[in-house]
């Protein structure tokens, strides 16, 4: 799973850089927090986790690693898109933000359990 985490982290890095350019060129800084979330939770977090899984391959072959991957990569786009909606005042978007955060948080807890359980 380490390589998959690193590959998807690279996608988030590209999206973060692209959004940075769009924000700067447009002068509309409402999406700065969205760019930060993509960068930190996508590129930085998933890249670091991928490197951990490459360094400790026993962690990457577990069901916890696979479930974490999917929860993180479903939760982050939900969170990002819902946050964009909030910035542009889409009504009733709050529940989607909560769902994104819950998916991310559960995934992160699974990563923590995986590390604490398997890393010896």
Q: Which residues contact 94 (CB under 8 A, 6 or more apart)?
A: 82, 86
Mean pLDDT of the chain: 95
How far apart CA 53 and CA 119 sit, in angstroms, is 11
Q: What is the DSSP letter of 61?
A: T
Domain coordinates in residue numbering, the chain: 1-118
| pLDDT tens digits for range 22-50 | 999 999 899 999 999 999 999 999 999 99
Q: What is the pLDDT of residue 44?
A: 97
Q: What is the pLDDT of residue 120?
A: 81
How far apart CA 107 and CA 79 sit, in angstroms, is 14
């Amino acid at each position: 799973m380490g390589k998959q985490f690193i590959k998807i982290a690279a996608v988030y890095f590209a999206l973060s850089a692209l959004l940075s350019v769009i924000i700067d060129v447009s002068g509309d800084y409402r999406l700065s927090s969205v760019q930060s979330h993509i960068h930190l939770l996508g590129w930085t977090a998933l890249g670091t986790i991928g490197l951990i899984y490459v360094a400790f391959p026993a962690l990457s072959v577990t069901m916890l690693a696979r479930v974490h991957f999917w929860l993180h990569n479903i939760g982050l786009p939900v969170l990002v898109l819902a946050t964009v909606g909030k910035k542009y005042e889409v009504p009733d978007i709050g529940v989607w933000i909560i769902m994104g955060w819950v998916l991310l948080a559960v995934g992160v807890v699974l990563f923590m359990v995986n590390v604490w359980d398997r890393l010896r």
